[in-house]
């Protein structure tokens, strides 16, 4: 008799899915409406960090896998029961720049996986060249 353990796939909470989709919408809206008024998002150090994280996310080939990774990230705020999602990008006062860069990188990868189009580096996106 063999004992084979079946490991179920992780259950992805819809709240995390909505959080990532909201972040992606916020990025699109900000780039569309305020590309020249990027604030922190236009800083070279922020662009470097977003691009560095995007490089690590590039091998992820599905939104489901991206969401699983996003759900595990330490920058995500959660309640003790794990059911709340961090507010959309830009709405968290005092959020550390690295956390914002990670959220932006995940949002851009979400968009890429959704429409199958690669995006250029963050500086080009902010400059409106894409």
Q: What is the pLDDT of residues 75-104, one digit of tens each?
A: 655 433 343 334 446 545 455 566 689 999
pLDDT of 75 reads 60
Could you report the per-residue pLDDT of 20-49, keeping only the tens digit for each?
A: 899 899 888 888 876 666 678 888 899 999
Q: What is the mean pLDDT of the chain?
A: 76
Whole-prediction pTM? 0.73
Rg of the chain on CA atoms, in Å:
16
pLDDT of amino acid 48: 94
With tokens 């996986």, the residue in question is 113
**What would the two tokens of residue 93 be?**
């006062």
């Amino acid at each position: 008799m063999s004992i084979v353990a079946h490991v179920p796939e992780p259950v992805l909470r819809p709240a995390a899915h909505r959080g990532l989709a909201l972040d992606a919408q916020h990025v699109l809206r900000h780039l569309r409406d305020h590309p020249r008024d990027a604030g922190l998002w236009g800083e070279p150090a922020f662009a470097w960090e977003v691009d560095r994280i995007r490089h690590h996310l590039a091998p992820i080939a599905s939104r489901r896998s991206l969401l699983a990774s996003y759900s595990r990230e330490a920058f995500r705020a959660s309640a003790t029961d794990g059911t709340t999602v961090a507010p959309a990008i830009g709405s968290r006062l005092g959020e550390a720049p690295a956390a914002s860069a990670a959220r932006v990188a995940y949002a851009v990868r979400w968009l890429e996986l959704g429409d199958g189009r690669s995006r250029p580096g963050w500086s080009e996106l902010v400059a409106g060249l894409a």
